[in-house]
Structure 1
Amino acid sequence: MTGSNSMSSGYCSLDEESDDFTFFTAKTSFFRRPHGKQGPKKATKEEEEENPKSLSEEEVKSKIEEYNSKVSENGMNLAEDGTYTGFIKVHLKLRRPVTILSPDGKAPGCSPAADVSDRRTSFYMPSDTVKQLHISSTTTVNEVIQGLLKKYTVQDNPRKFALYRRTHRDGQDLIQKLAGTEHPLFLRLLAGPDLENLSFVLKENETGEVEWHAFSVPELQNFLTILEKEERERVKQVELRYTAYKNKLMEALQEVQNKPG
C-alpha cells in the first residue's frame, strides 16, 4: 500500500466546533448546540443502499471499465488473478491529538501540543488532511487504518480509530462505520469515482465509552492540560459575552430613565 498526502503546513490551532462531538475529545463542547445547527445525519438501514456481497469476474471487469471511463487519472487496474488495484482518498477528521515518533521530536508541519518525551510528541492533525492510498481489492479496513498510522508514524493504538463511509444525499451527510474486514476499494468500485456518492473518513473509534486503558499516562496528562487551557478560554469568552450583554442592558435602562415623562 502506497500513498501521497495533502497536509497544510504550520497549522495547529483548534478549529471551530466540528459537526458532532463525543464525550472525551480535546475539543469537547461545554455548551449545548443551537437547535438550528445539526450535524451529519446518521445513516439508517433503510437509507443505506444494499450492496452486493460479491461480483463475478465479468461484472468486476465491466465495473472497472465503467469506472476508468469517468476518470482521467488514477484508474483501477485488473490483475490476471481477478484482483484489482486502485486509489482511495481518506479524509482525516481527528479531534484528539495523536502521538507520533520523530527523530527530532517535532510533529511534521505542526507545533507540539505537549512536552516531548522519548522522541514522542502529541499534536493536532490539521483538519484538512487528506491521504491518497494505492490499495488492492483485498486490502481491508483494518489494513487501511494501520497503513495511515504508519505513514504519519502515529504511535496510538489502531483500535482508537475507525474508518467511516460518508455519502451526501438531500443536503446531508450520511455516515456509517465500516467493519474492519470490509474492503474499501470494492466499495469505491461500486460507488464510482464521484465523492458525493462515497468518501472515506478516519475518525476516533466511538464505542459509546472512552477506553481509558488504551491511553498512556503522558497522553492522559496531555489531554488534561489541553482541556484546562480550553476551559480557561471558554470561561473568559463567557465572561466577556455576559459583560457586553450587561453593558447593553445598562445603556438601555439608562436611556429609558432619561426619557421625559
Structure 2
Amino acid sequence: QDEQIDWEKPVLSQAEIEQKIKEYNSQINSNLFMSLNKDGSYTGFIKLQLKLIRPVSVPASKKPPSIQDMKKAPRSQAVKRRTSFYLPKDTVKHLHIISRTRASEVIEALLRKFMVVDNPRKFALFERAEKDDQAPPAGRGQEDQPLRLRLLAGPSEKALSFVLKENETGEVNWDAFSMPELHNFLRILQREEEEHVRQILQKYTRCRQQLQEALTARTPG
C-alpha cells in the first residue's frame, strides 16, 4: 500500500551519514551506489513508479514524449494549446538525485522530462514498502528528501520505493481542467464502467455454469 503518513525521522550526524553510506553500498546488488560529496551532501538513486489514472496535459504542438525519447522543456514556457496524453502506467524510473532534493523538486523534474504542463500540485510522491520488510517508518511530504529516506531504509527496494500518483487530498476542482481534458475523463469513466460490467458478467457467467454443472451431476440418470 502507498503510504501518505508523516512520521518523525531521525537526524543523522555527518559521521553517521558516512557510515550509513558505507553500509548501504556494501549491501547493494547493482551499480546504483550512493556517493558522499565534499560539501557533506550525497548523491544516489531512488526507484519511482508512475501510477497515474488520469491523462496529463502536454503542449499540442509537440509530439507526446515516449519513454525512449524524453526531452526537457522549461515549465515557464507559455503553453496556449494543450492536448491530453496518457503516461504509460506502472512505468518504473531510477532517478539520480542529491540528498537535498525535495519531493516537490522530484515531481517537477519528472514532469519536465515528460513535457507535462499540469500544475505539479496535482501530483504527490508516495512511499511504498512491503509489510513483511522491517523498514524504518518514513514520511511523505513536499519538503521531504527522498534520497535521505532511501538511505535510512537501506538498499532494498522492497523496503522502500516511491510512487507518483494524483494528489487526492480533497474534492476535484473540475473547473481547473480544459474541455478536452473533461471529455477525456468522460471517456475514461465510460471505459472503466464497461470493463467493470464485463468483469461482473463474466463472474456470474462462471458461477451459473458451475451451478448448472453441479445440478447436472446430481440429477439421477
TM-score by length of 2: 0.75
Question: What is the CA distance between 1:253 and its match in structure 2?
Answer: 8.4
Between the aligned residues of both structures, percent identity stands at 49
Gaps (5+ residues) in structure 2? 68-79
Change (3 A) 1:102 1:177: farther
Q: Distance in 1 between matches of 2:60 and 2:24?
A: 39
Matches within 5 A, 1:26-41: 40=1
Whether 2:51 is the aligned partner of 1:93: answer: yes
Q: Deviations over 1:117-169 (max 9, x none)?
A: 9462322x333301111111110000001111111111221111111111112
Matched residue count: 208
1:55 corresponding residue in structure 2: 12
**Structure 1 pair 151–245 and aligned structure 2 pair: CA distance change class (3 A):** same
Unaligned runs of 5+ in 1: 1-39, 110-116
1:1-261 equivalences in 2 (<5 Å): 40=1, 51-52=9-10, 54-71=11-28, 72-101=30-59, 105-106=63-64, 108=66, 118=81, 120-123=83-86, 125-170=87-132, 178-235=140-197, 238=200
The answer to which structure has the higher helix fraction is 2
Q: 2:72 matched to which residue of 1? A: none
* Cα distance change on mapping 1:89 and 1:255 into 2, 3 Å: closer
Q: Tell me: higher relative CO, structure 1 or 2? Use CA pairs within 8 A at least 6 residues apart.
A: 2
- Contact 1:43-1:175 at 8 Å conserved across structures: no
Give the distance between the partners of 1:157 and 1:252, measured in 2 at CA: 57
Instruction: Output one character per residue of 1:22-78: Cα deviation in whole Å (capped at 9) or x when no partner.
Output: xxxxxxxxxxxxxxxxxx386878xx6x530x2111111111111111224121111
* Structure 1 residues 224 and 177: alpha-carbon distance in aligned structure 2, compared to 1, 3 A threshold: farther
Give the whole-Å Cα distance in 1 for the aligned partners of 2:3 and 2:209: 42
CA-atom RMSD in angstroms: 3.5
Question: What letter is aligned with 1:97?
Answer: P
